[in-house]
Amino acid sequence: MKKAVIVYDTKRGSTETISGWIKDFLEKEGWQVSLLRAGEERKLEGNYDLVIIGSPIYYEKPLKSVKEFIEQNRETLSSIPVAIFVVNMADLFGHLTESYIKTRYIGALEKLLKTPPIITYPIRGWLRKPGQKTEKDVGEFVKLILDHFGSTF
């Protein structure tokens, strides 16, 4: 059985909801998944096949707690596959933002890792309630993970 942990933080709840969906999807595929809130927990302990790290974007930046978690666990994370997702709404502002999200939002987390992540993915966040784009993004992200590990979805 594959074992994963989702390390996330949130201000208004959407990244927590999304992390729960990712957990549910992977568990349906037979994975064992735990959730860990950055800021509450500082040290990554246990044996994992995958660490998923997720942060919302506020004022152009991922949350400090998530960045600090990566910094504090930099050595441990260099020996485990890491997948990153950023919850944001920048894609609402036009097609030019795709590369912007990648370099600016995802890059801000990616550059803290010693070894490159296996997958990075932007997920559409929300202000009041989630829409179809979020669901689609979460499905795509999980599919990339399962493809990487050679299972079907």
Ligand X SMILES: Cc1cc2nc3c(=O)[nH]c(=O)nc-3n(C[C@H](O)[C@H](O)[C@H](O)COP(=O)(O)O)c2cc1C
CB atoms within 10 A of CB 25: 19
Binding mask 83-122 for ligand X (x = CB under 6 A): ----xxxx--------------------------------
21: closest CA among 11, 33, 36? 33
SS3 51: strand
Q: By CB under 6 A, tell whether 58 contacts ligand X.
A: yes
Which helix (DSSP H) or strand (DSSP E) does residue 19 occupy?
A: helix 14-28
The span from the CA of 56 to the CA of 47, in Å, is 26
Asked if 77 and 118 touch (Cβ cutoff 8 Å), the reply is no
Q: By CB under 6 A, tell whether 11 contacts ligand X.
A: yes
Distance in Å, CB of 150 to ligand X, minimum: 31
Q: By CB under 6 A, tell whether 56 contacts ligand X.
A: yes
Distance in Å, CB of 147 to ligand X, minimum: 25
| Closer residue to ligand X, CB minimum distance, 10 or 65 | 10
| Closer residue to ligand X, CB minimum distance, 17 or 73 | 17
For the chain, what's the residue count?
Answer: 153
Number of residues that bind ligand X (CB under 6 A): 18
Q: Which residues bind ligand X (CB under 6 A)?
A: 10-15, 56-60, 87-90, 125-127
